[in-house]
Amino acid sequence: MSSGSVRRVSALALRIFRQFTRDRRTAMLIFVLPVVVMTLVSYLLEGPPSKIPFALIKESSGTSVIYEIIKDMLEEEDRVRLVSVDKNDVERSLREGRIRGALIIRGGGLDDMTEGRAAGMEVFFEGSDALATGELAAILARISRGLMPAVRDVVDVVGDETARALAGMEIKERYLYGGPTFTPTDYLAPVILGAFPFVLTFILTSISFLRERTSGTMERLLASPIGRVEVIVGYLAGFLIFTMIQACIILGFVLWVMEVHMVGAIGIVFFLVMIITMVGAGLGMFLSSFARTELQVAQFMPLVILPLLLVSGVFWPVETMPKWLWPLGYGSPLTWANIALRDVMVKGFGLVEIVNSFGILCFFAVVFVLLAAATLRRQLD
């Protein structure tokens, strides 16, 4: 390398260094973002730190040896938190998300055992989250296998009748939502259906809006009789066409290729995708006003969209995440998109039953659209 060449290369490298130091956001992206994202990802990959809420119900009033033994065994499990639930409140508690499953034991008293009457055991899963259900099922299978030796420790002499009673015990399964054929894919599919239109509209609107500003067309638009709200509604309507086509393709793929279970009404799913599109478009239009170049718009993906996605309960519900992540989790519109879409697709809920998550999504859509309108108004400086 000649000295002239070294000078040219150094000048180029120095110029790039100078440009980056002037762009604080890029500097932050390079140095801070990996730490933030790795922290979030490490929490997600480690699994939910909080335990799965589970109830153990004794249906008969007398003492139940089986109940006591299983309770001891469950208390030793790291991944389960026993929640006290009245035997008449099991379904409601499952529906409200207080517990993810319940084991209901009928009989199992000492007299029953010695007289050969098997205890009735039924596990009632909430079922919408196949990962949590699978984890609980594995724990119960382990308990079931350890039950015989545990009973032998308690009952001094195991006679033929008791042995028959133990052999006749099996845990029946019941599901509030989903079922044994549901897989983690069923739980993840609604996330795909929500995240793709959200990310697509975010990218399209933020880049289009930036181009409108930098090319001068926004200036020209705002000098015409079109109102600011009309600009935003026009944008929403324009992008809605593409996201609805995309939603059709994703839904078709999810239902017919991935063979994901779909319990609820397809119309509600499309309606939700429409609202999610508005949230993504509103956020895109709003944030684009904070970018001067397309490079800065691209930075919003790892800076804003990725964290919003990671904390949205993709793998585990937000309530199972560390508490310090809750404000971020519940502040992410994608969390409510996932909740609403899962409620419809996995649980078969109607609009009335998803009113909370649906309402919050609408709230996000309105807030982002108003913020976008406010940033457009800023043109009148």
Partner 1 sequence: MHAGESSSVPAAVEVRDLRKTFGARVALGGLSLSISEGQTYGLIGPNGAGKTTFIRIAVGLSRAGAGTVRVLGHEMPDRSAARHIGYMTQKSALYNDLTIVENLKFYAALYGLSGRERKERIDEALELVELTQRRNDLVGALSGGMIQRSSLAAALLHKPRLIFLDEPTSGVDPELRLAFWNHFERLNEQGATLVVSTHHLDEASRCHKLGMLRDGKLIADDSPDALLNRTGTGTLEEAFLKIAREGG
In the complex, which residues of this chain contact partner 1 (CB under 8 A)? 215-217, 219-227, 379-381
Closest approach of partner 1 to the CB of residue 358, in Å: 34
Local structure of residue 311 (DSSP, 8 states)? T
Q: Give the residue with the Cβ less far from partner 1, 39 or 215.
A: 215
- Three-state DSSP class for residue 57: strand
Complex with partner 1: residue 56 or 231, whichever CB lies closer: 231
CA-angle at 128, arms to 120 and 94, nearest 5°:
55
Query: Whole-angstrom Cα distance, residue 103 to residue 140?
Result: 9
Q: Which is nearer to partner 1, 218 or 306 (CB)?
A: 218
341, β-bridge pairs? none
CB of 211 to partner 1, least distance (A): 9
Closest contact distance (angstroms) between CB of 6 and partner 1 is 38
Give the count of beta carbons closer than 10 Å to the beta carbon of residue 8.
12
Q: How does DSSP classify residue 305?
A: I
Instruction: Please state the closest distance from residue 244 (CB atom) to partner 1, in A.
Output: 22
Using CA atoms in the order 58, 62, 63, 67, what is the torsion angle rounded to 10 degrees? -20
78/381 with CB nearer partner 1: 381
**Least spacing, CB of residue 25 vs partner 1, in Å:** 21
Nearer to partner 1, 219 or 259 (CB): 219
For residue 358 the two structure tokens come to 């649906």
Taking the least distance from each CB to partner 1, the nearer of 157 and 223 is: 223
> Using only C-alpha atoms, what is the Rg of the chain?
28
Per-residue CA distances from 277 to 59, 169, 199, 270 (Å): 48, 51, 9, 10
